[in-house]
Amino acid sequence: QFCEEFKEKCPICVPCGLKLAEKTQTAIVRHFGLQILEHVVKFRWNNMPRLEKVYLKNNVMGLISSGTQSILEEESHIKDVLSRIVVEMIKREWPQHWPDMLKELDTLSKQGETQTELVMFILLRLAEDVVTFQTLPTQRRRDIQQTLTQNMEKIFSFLLTTLQQNVNKYRRMVRVSFSCAQSAQANCRVGIAALNTLAGYIDWVALSHITADNCKLLEMLCLLLNEPELQIGAAECLLIAVSRKGKLEDRKPLMVLFGDVAMHYILSAAQTADGEGLVEKHYVFLKRLCQVLCALGSQLCALLGSDADVETPANFGKYLDSFLAFTTHPSQFLRSSTQITWGALFRHEVLSRDPLLLAMIPKYLRASMTNLVKVGFPSKTDSPSCEYSRFDFDSDEDFNAFFNSFRAQQGEVMRMACRLDPRTGFQMAGEWLKYQLTAPVDTGPMNCDFSVLFLSAKTGEGLCSIFSPSFVQWDAMTFFSESVISQMFRTLDKDEIPVNDGIDLLQLVLNFETKDPLILSCVLTNVSALFPFVTYRPEYLPQVLSKLFASVTFEVIEESKAPRTRAVKNVRRHACSSIIKMCRDYPQLVLPNFEMLYNHVKQLLSNELLLTQMEKCALMEALVLISNQFKDYERQKAFLEELMAPVAGLWLSPEMQRVLLDPEAFISYVGADNKIADPVLEDPSGLNRSRISFCVYTILGVVKRARWPAATEEAKAGGFLVGYMPSGSPIYRNPCTEQVLKLLDNLLALIRTHNNLYMPEMVARMGETFAKALDMLEVEKNAILGLPQPLLELYDSPVYKTVLERMQGFFCTLYDNCFHILGNAGPSMQQDFYTVDGLATQLLSSAFINLNNIPDYRLRPMLRVFVKPLVLSCPSEYYETLVCPMLGPLFTYLHVRLSQKWQVINQRSMLCEDDAADDNPESQEMLEEQLVRLLTREVMDLITVCCVSKKGVEHNTTAAVDGDDDEAMATEVTPPASAELTELGKCLMKQEDVCTALLITAYTSLSWKDTLSCQRTTTQLCWPLLKQVLPGNLLPDAVSWFFTSVLKGLQIHGQHDGCMAALVHLAFQIYEALRPRYAELKAVMEQVPDIQRDSLEQFDSKLLNPTLQKVADKRRKDHFKRLITGCIGKPLGEQFRKEVHIRNLPSLFKMVKPSLETDVLENEDGEGLNALFEP
C-alpha cells in the first residue's frame, strides 16, 4: 500500500525513480524504480512541465545507453519495463514533439548488443500497442501509424541490417572458438530480438516491404531455418509473411518460396529437425514449418487460376511430397494440420486436374488408412504417436475429442479425393475390407481393463475392448469404406458402378460370422455402406435382411442371465437403426419383401422378453415406413390397425385405464413405492414399466412415420386427399389417425398423472428407494454443465443398473416420449388433430397442470418438443380456438416463473451466503443457474417463433446444445427490416393480458444474466412487439419502463460487444420513436450517469424540430451512444482500472476543404468544365 500511495502522491517521483533505477541497486529495487517512472509517464505526464518531461526522457535514454547490465546478465523484466517507459513516452509525444525519436534509437543501437536489443523491444512494443492491440485514442493511433508507415522503408532496412550483421557475427564467432561463446550468444540474442520485432511488423506493413530487393527478407528467413538457435523465430516470420492476405497482384512475389533454393532450405530444415528425435524445441519448429507449407498451399490456391497470371510451380511435385511427409508423420497433431490444405488442393479448379496431384491421391488415401486408426492416447505406449500426444494433449479425453474431429475432417477430404478418382478409393476399401475379414482377431494385452478380464472369465473367450488392435483396425477400415463408397455412388454414372465387385464384397461381409459385439457393429456399418449395390441386384435383399435380423437378437452367450454389456446393446440398436434406414431410403426396393419382413417381426414380437421395448418399436417403425409405399389408404389403415392391435388392447384395458388416471395407482403399478432389499437384482415391477413404455414408443413410432404419398396425384388415387383449404392447399388424411386418436385420452391422462407425480404428497408416497426417481439423470446433468462424458465407457462390462437408475430412466424417457407424440401429432394428423373436441381444454388440463412443481429440466423439453412444433405446424384457422387459449395462460405463467427464478439468482449473487445443508451446494447452484439460463432461452425462442415472422430472422428449430454457452456473438445487430409480427403474433397481441405478458417478459429478460438470450431477444423480438402497441395510447410510466429496461440491460450486458450494439440500437429506436410524444423519456435520460446536459439538449432539439435537416442515421446513433455511455457496463477487469488519458497533439494531416466561393465553371484561368469538352 505504501508503494502504491508513493507512486500516486509523492511530488518527487522522478528523481526517486531514477535514483532507485541505478545500475548499482539490486534488480528488485531497480524494477520498482522503473515502475515508478512508468507510472509517472502513464498518469502524470499531462500535468508535467515541459522541462521535466525532457529531463525524464533524457535520463531514460541514458539508462538504455549506460544504465543497464550487459545483454546476457540483465534481467528480462528490467529490459521489459525500460522499453515500456520509452513506448509510453513515444505514444504521448511522437512525432510532433519528438521528431528525432527514430534517429535517437538508431544512435543507441550503434553502442552495442545490449542497446540494440532494447531498441528492438521498443519497436516491437510500439507496433503491438499501436497496431495490434490499438490501446490508444484514435487520432494518436492514426498519427503514429501513419508516421511509422512513412518511415517503414528505413525501419525495415534497419531491422534487416541488424538481423544480418548479428547473424553473420554469430556464425563467425561460433566457428572461431569456444572462447568467443559469450560474444556469440550476445549476437544470437539480438538476432532473436530482431526476428521477434520483424514478426510484429510483417503482419501489417505493405507487402512491398516484405518482397523488396528480390524478396531479400524471405531469402534470409529461409537461410535461418537451418540455424538451430534462430530457426523458430525465422519460421514464425516466414509463416506470418506467407499467410498475408491482400491484393493478388501484391502476393505474387511470395511464389518465390516454391523456387529451388527456398524449397531446398525448407525441406532440409524439416528433415534435420525430424531426425533429431522428439525434442520439444524441434517439434515446435516442425509444427511451424508445417504451417508454413499449409500457408504456401493456400497462397498457391488463391493465385492460380486468378487474374494474377501465375503458373503451376515447377517444384509442385516436390512440395506435394514434402507435404505428404507431414501427413505421414507419427504426430497426430501434424497429420491433422495438413488436412485443410489437402482439401483446398483437391477442390481447386486448376490443381485438381494436375497430373502430379492426381498421382498423389492413392498416396494420400494410403496415408489416411493409417491416420484413421485411433492410436496415440497420451497414457499409452502402443504407437509412436503416443510420445508426441504427451506434448499436445493433457489427457486421453482431450486426445479423444481431438481425434474425433480430425477423423471427421479426414472423411471430408477423402471424399474430395474420391470425387477426382473414385475407383482407386473403392479398390483400396475392398482390399482392406477383405484383409480384415480374414485377419485373426487380436484383442491386445489382457490387463488393459479389469472389465475385459471380468467378461472373459464369464465367457471363456477374449473379446475386443475399444483399445484392442483388431477393433481399432476394423473401426478405421469401416470409416474409410463408408466414406469412399458413398462418394463413388455420388460421382460415377450408373453404368460405371463396379456392381460385381461390390456384390462380391457384400457377399463376403454377409458370410462373415463373429461373436465379438464391437467387430459385429463394424460389420453392420459395412453392410449399410455396401447396400446401394443391392439396388442393382435385388435378389440379395433377403440375405441382407436375415443378417440384420440375426443381429437384432444378438447375444454373446445365449440364454445368459447377466445383463447385456453396452457393446451388445449397441449392436442390437445398430441393427434396428440399419433396418429403419434401409426402409426409409429404399422403400420401393424393400416393398416386394414386405410379407417376409412382417412375418419376421411378428415372430420376434411374440416373445415378450426377447427384445427391449425400443427394439420392438424400431422394427415396427420400419414396417410403417414400408407401408407408406402401399399408396392405398384403406390397405395401409387396415395394416396399421392390425399392427397396433396388441397396443390398443393393452392401452385401453380397464386395468391400464385405472393406472393411468390415478397417480397413486400409477406409482404402485410401476413399483415406485416398493422397499427393495437388493436394488440391483430385485425388480418385481419391471414388466409393468416395460408395457407402458412399449405402448408409448409404438404410438410415437406410428405418429412419426405414417404418411400420405408426397405426390398429390398418387395421394388422390390412393384415397388420402379429402379436400382443399380456402387457400387452395390440399387437405390429406393420415391412415394412422383413427388408431391414434382412440388412444389419445389415455395418453393425456398419463401426462396429467405424470405431472401430478411432482406434487409433494406424491413424491412422499415414493418409498425410500425411489425418493430420487424423478431427479435428473447424471447424463443430463453433465450435458447441462458442459462436462465431457466419460471417455471410455466400459463397453465390455455388463450394464448393472440399480432399480433406481432404471426407474429414473423410465420416467425421463416416458415424459419426453409423451410430449414427442403431442409435438408430432399436428404435422402427422393435421386437421383431424386440431379439430379434436375441446383439444385446448384437454391440453390445458393435462400437459399444463401442476407446472409450479415441475422442475426446469422437465419443463424445457415440454416447450421444445411439444409446444413449439404444435404451434409451428398449426394452420391459422385454429389460432383462435386452439393456440391462443393455450399460449395465453402459458406465457403469463412462464413470465412469473422466470422472474422469480432470476430474482433468486440475483439475490444469491448479492449475498453469496454459505449454505452447508447440501452435500455439494456449489455445483448444485451452478446446475440450477445454468438450467434457468437454458429454460430462459427456450421460452424466449418459443415467443420469438410464435410472434416474429421468419423473413429476416432464421429460427433454429433445434435447440442449442446444452452447456454450450459460447458467447462469441455476432456484432452485426441491426435487426432485419422485415422482422414483422406473424398472424399468430398479432392474434396473441390482441388479448390484453397476453400482450402485457409478452411485452413484460421480452423487456424484463434484457436484464437477466444470460447474454445469448439478451442478444437474441433484443435483435428479434423487442421492437416488433413494441411497434405493435405504438398506435395505441401507452401510459407514460409504461414508456419510461420500456426505455429503462433497455438501459438496465446495457448496464448488465454492455461489456459484450454484440449485446451492447443491439441494446444501443433498440434504445435509440425507442427514444427516436417515442420522445416526441413522451417528455418522460428525457427525464430518464437525465438520470444517466455522467450525461452531458448540453449534448442531450442538442440531440433533443434536432429530434423535435422537423424543419431541421435530418443528420445521417449513423451519426445520430453515435451521438446517442455517447449520451448513454454512463449506462454501458464494463468488463470486471476494466471496472476498477485507473484510466490512462493520452492527449491528442496538433494534427499532422489536415484535410483541406475546397473553397465554396469559386465557381468551378469559371476558375481563374477562364477554363471551366467547358474546356474539357472542347475537341
Domain ranges of the chain: 1-205, 632-785+798-874, 891-914+924-958+976-1029, 1042-1144
For residue 95, cis peptide bond before it (omega within 30 degrees of 0): yes
Phi/psi region, residue 497 (left: phi>0; alpha: psi -120 to 50; beta: rest), is beta
What percent of the chain has pLDDT above 90? 73
User: Any residues with CB less than 8 A from the CB of 68 and at least 6 apart, and which?
Assistant: 23, 74, 78, 79, 82, 114, 118
1163 pLDDT higher than 70? no
DSSP string for residues in 1062-1116: HHHHHHHHHHHHHTTT-THHHHHHHTSTT--HHHHHHHHHHHH-TTSPPPPHHHH
What is the pLDDT averaged over residues 1130-1153? 75
Mutual angle of helices 983-990 and 992-1004, in 10-degree steps: 110
> Can you tell me which residue has the cell 433454429?
956
| pLDDT, tens digit, 9 for 90 and up, residues 389-446 | 999 999 998 999 999 999 999 999 999 999 999 999 999 999 999 999 999 999 988 6
Q: What is the pLDDT of residue 230?
A: 95
Q: Which residue has the higher pLDDT, 1030 or 531?
A: 531
pLDDT at 45: 93
CA 740 to chain centre: 40
Average pLDDT over residues 1000-1010: 95
Provide the pLDDT confidence category of residue 644 given band limits of 50, 70 and 90: very high
Q: What is the average per-residue pLDDT within 1042-1052?
A: 96
Q: Which of the four pLDDT bands, split at 50, 70 and 90, describes residue 579?
A: very high
As given in the structure block, the three cell numbers for residue 263 are 524449397
Round to the nearest angstrom and report the end-to-end CA distance of the chain: 82
CA-nearest of 99, 94, 101, 88 to 128 is 88
pLDDT of residue 910: 73
Whether pLDDT at 1062 is above 80 = yes
Q: Do the beta carbons of residue 952 and residue 979 sit within 8 Å?
A: yes
| Backbone φ and ψ of 730, nearest 5° | -70, 150
Mean pLDDT across the stretch 494-511?
A: 97
**Which of 318-327, 1061-1070, 1151-1160 has the least mean pLDDT?**
1151-1160
Let me know: does 148 contact 155? Beta carbons within 8 Å.
Answer: yes
Question: For residue 1063, what pLDDT is reported?
Answer: 96
Question: What radius of gyration, in Å, describes the C-alpha atoms of the chain?
Answer: 37
Tell me the pLDDT tens digit for each residue of 436-455: 999 999 998 864 444 443 44
pLDDT of 177 reads 66
User: Given pLDDT bands bounded at 50, 70 and 90, which one contains residue 952?
Assistant: very low
| Minimum mean pLDDT range among 190-204, 681-695, 949-963, 1055-1069 | 949-963
pLDDT of 974 higher than 80: no
Residue 961 confidence (pLDDT) above 50: no
Mean pLDDT computed over 371-397? 94
pLDDT of 637 over the 60 cut: yes
The predicted pLDDT at position 796 comes to 53
Mean pLDDT confidence for 808-812:
93
**Phi and psi at residue 555, in whole multiples of 5°?**
-135, 150
For residue 546, pLDDT beyond 60: yes
Q: What is the pTM of this model?
A: 0.87
pLDDT in the model for residue 448 = 44
Model pLDDT, residue 179: 62
Question: Which residue from 35, 33, 54, 55 is spatially nearest to 43, judged by alpha carbons?
Answer: 35
Does 931 score more than 90 pLDDT? yes
Among the residue ranges 12-16, 254-258, 528-532, 820-824, the one predicted with the least confidence is 12-16
Residues 6+ apart with CB under 8 A from 435: none
* Cell numbers 537451418: residue: 226
**pLDDT digits over 32-55, tens only?**
999 999 999 999 999 999 999 999
